[in-house]
Amino acid sequence: MYNLTDYHIHSNYSWDAGQTINQIARKAKETGIKQACLTEHVDFHRNHPQSFMYLDTLYEEWTKTFENGKKIFPNLRKGIEVGEPYLHTGLYEKFIKGRKFDFIMASVHWIDGYSPVSDNYFTKYAPLKDAYKLYFDEVFKLVTYGNFDACAHLTLVHRNGKKFFPEFNYAMFKPELDDILKLMISKKIGMEINTSGLRFAAADFVPDREIIQAYLNFGGDRLVVGSDCHVIKDTFFGLEKAYKMFNEMGIKEITVYEDRQPRKVAIK
């Protein structure tokens, strides 16, 4: 019934993922999904050698494997999820220069050497509200730098943070979130609705419905949907549920990208 799209997929060309591009392409074909976009991790932290520039040396091989995957599923797209490009502008700009991507999404995955999805990130802060405030301050810096197509999992801090700070809601961080949302809209940066939160403590979309509605109310119209899958069992997970919510919210179209140009697709 819905024209499902998944714009957050990690293959084994991401340092922390296991599924192959062929597995993803076959599942896309079998599921009847409309579009699937690889979004491989690109990270530049020298203190995290597992991820540092992982895709850089594999880029040519990845591109060939992607082209083969396209033979199985022609609506496969080639993208990356770059971590904190605003902190590594030189390396990031060099990484994308002369290379072709359909879609570039950006994230805040590390703050002062800690990941906002790990328990030890939260135990550092008292009051816990500060852990969230700091995360949103970093997202604001990310959006201020821009130079990418969509902002991934805007409220990632709450995916695991719900265990520590269940009282989080939009109203509590309205000034911070509104500044981010308005800046995204003015810079034509899309908002990813990430379904991985359904698999973690948050048990909800990341960001949640209230924040999606705020983005729409400010005039935002570039919604992107992604499962953030790293293993084949999670691929396309939660998409139906997301589209059902979009339908209830009166959202008619979702955005997809080709050669980094946005295009709208009717949700059904």
Residues 6+ apart with CB under 8 A from 90: none
**Which residues are bridge partners to 173 per DSSP?**
none
Position 14 contacts Zn ion (CB under 5 A): no
User: Least distance (Å) from Zn ion to the CB of residue 49?
Assistant: 19
How many amino acids of this chain bind Zn ion (CB under 5 A)? Answer: 3
- In angstroms, the CA 211 to CA 5 distance is 21
Pairing label, strands 35-42, 5-9: parallel
Nearer to Zn ion, 237 or 264 (CB): 237
Position 155 contacts Zn ion (CB under 5 A): no
Nearer to Zn ion, 198 or 253 (CB): 198
Position 107 contacts Zn ion (CB under 5 A): yes
Position 19 contacts Zn ion (CB under 5 A): no
- In angstroms, the CA 168 to CA 186 distance is 26
Residues 6+ apart with CB under 8 A from 175: none
Q: Where are the beta strands (DSSP E) in the chain?
A: 5-9, 35-42, 76-83, 103-107, 150-151, 190-194, 223-226, 253-258, 261-266
Burial class (CB in 10 A: 0-12, 13-18, 19+), 113: exposed
Nearer to Zn ion, 43 or 228 (CB): 228
Nearer to Zn ion, 208 or 228 (CB): 228
Position 43 contacts Zn ion (CB under 5 A): no
- In angstroms, the CA 76 to CA 205 distance is 24
> Among the candidate windows 81-89, 112-120, 158-166, 202-210, which touches Zn ion by CB under 5 A?
81-89
User: Least distance (Å) from Zn ion to the CB of residue 1?
Assistant: 27
Nearer to Zn ion, 138 or 228 (CB): 228
> Among the candidate windows 42-50, 172-180, 224-232, 257-265, which touches Zn ion by CB under 5 A?
224-232
Among 224, 228, 239, 255, binds Zn ion (CB under 5 A): 228
User: Least distance (Å) from Zn ion to the CB of residue 228?
Assistant: 4
- In angstroms, the CA 200 to CA 174 distance is 24
Using Cβ positions, the residue closest to Zn ion within the complex turns out to be: 107
Q: Is 80 helix (H, G, I), strand (E, B) or coil?
A: strand
Residues 6+ apart with CB under 8 A from 220: 181, 184, 185, 191
User: Least distance (Å) from Zn ion to the CB of residue 39?
Assistant: 6
User: Least distance (Å) from Zn ion to the CB of residue 18?
Assistant: 14
Contact residues for Zn ion, defined by CB under 5 A:
81, 107, 228
